[in-house]
Amino acid sequence: MNKKTVKDIDIKGKKVLVRCDFNVPYDENRKITDNRRIVAALPTIKYLLENGCKVILCSHLGRPKGEVKPEFSMDIVAKELTRLLGQEVKLSKDVVGPDAIALAENLNAGEVMLLENVRFEPGEEKNDEELSKKFASLAEVFVNDAFGTAHRAHSSTTGVASYLPAVSGFLIEKELNFLGTALENPERPFMAILGGRKVSDKIGVIEALLEKVDVLMIGGAMAYTFFKSMGYNVGNSVCELDKLDLAKELMEKAKAKGVKFMLPVDTRIGKEFKEDTESKTVKYTEIPDEWEGFDIGEETIKLYCEELKSAKTVVWNGPLGLFEFDQFAIGTNSIAKALADVDAVKIIGGGDSAAAVEKAGLAEKFTHISTGGGASLEFLEGKKLPGIEALQDR
């Protein structure tokens, strides 16, 4: 990575603003249900504290859309950070207002505070210059460790970097190292597994990966658009009728590039979209009317698992079925289990595939699980991420 990290500049005793990704899920009682993103930020925070820094953390939570909404307060994150760090993390009552300024001014070396939800500020998502200056006025150094929002040009991710020395934290460094190495210098065979709902969400990724991989496996609802483009009936399955020509083009491109393009050979279908719907497995060419495809079938699982045995680098983004419903989580779980035993560099590209691997209790069997769904997708596409571009070069 050619971007400076916290280790490349003198941060001893300095006041440091750290943009984290604390956008964690929580239940109706405002209890955090998955703290992985908070845990992922700890190495950078602890390093700063060990170097006597005064640490000001900031993040968004949910989508308050520029309004102060108590249900999106960072109070639950402050409590969890206090527990994980074993020291008090004070929460300011505002983002860049009098309370935040006072708390920041009175911070001592080795102390931590957290700003209220940055998206309570209407200028945050507009990358407002005045707001960026206010963020910068709180500190002497800016550290971006929020890979999950690195694809957004907001005041707290890119704007503030114009007014302070800006470097990456350890999480962004790790993300770029793993994803970058996988794309630029993969050990081969290099295989990619792409799932999820729509071909349109993954066009850029498929096109970029066709330039790099040896094998591309398709699963999830987007498979049905490919089946339809081949002239087969897909019943009530999710299908993008305006993307049929594109699906054909992508398959032809794979053929021309010598990439093995694998589609499911059978599919688990259901009568309706509900947990306990009647279901059965059929060949991909025999999906009946009124039925909907929800998972890859047993034959596909066998084929994909067999193929993966020889992989040396694997990137996986997107579940292979409707994994929220147990009876349609078999494909995703089976691939996760098979991959766990493969001796390869294995990278999960964030989002639902990360959740599936966590749910299966297999996270520690993977080389790297990205914390950024949208950001890792754009990175895999080869797009420049504004939050990374704004950081100082080595």
Instruction: State the catalytic residues.
Output: 37, 198, 351, 374
- Contact between 368 and 174 under an 8 Å Cβ cutoff? The reply is yes
d(CA 123, CA 159): 11
Token output for 4: 């400076």
- Between CA 108 and CA 252 the distance in angstroms is 62
DSSP assignment letter at 32: B
CA 379, CA 394: separation in Å to the nearest integer?
Answer: 20
Strand, coil or helix: 15 = strand
Rounded Cα gap, residues 97 and 261, in angstroms: 54
Q: For residue 11, which phi and psi values (nearest 5 degrees)?
A: -115, 0
Rounded to whole angstroms, the Cα distance separating 59 from 299 reads 44
Where residue 127 falls (left for φ over 0; alpha for ψ -120 to 50; beta otherwise) is left
Q: Are 294 and 269 contacting, i.e. CB atoms less than 8 angstroms apart?
A: yes
How far from 140 is each of 17, 103, 133, CA to CA, in Å? 8, 15, 12
Q: Say how far residue 113 (Cα) sits from the centre of its chain.
A: 26
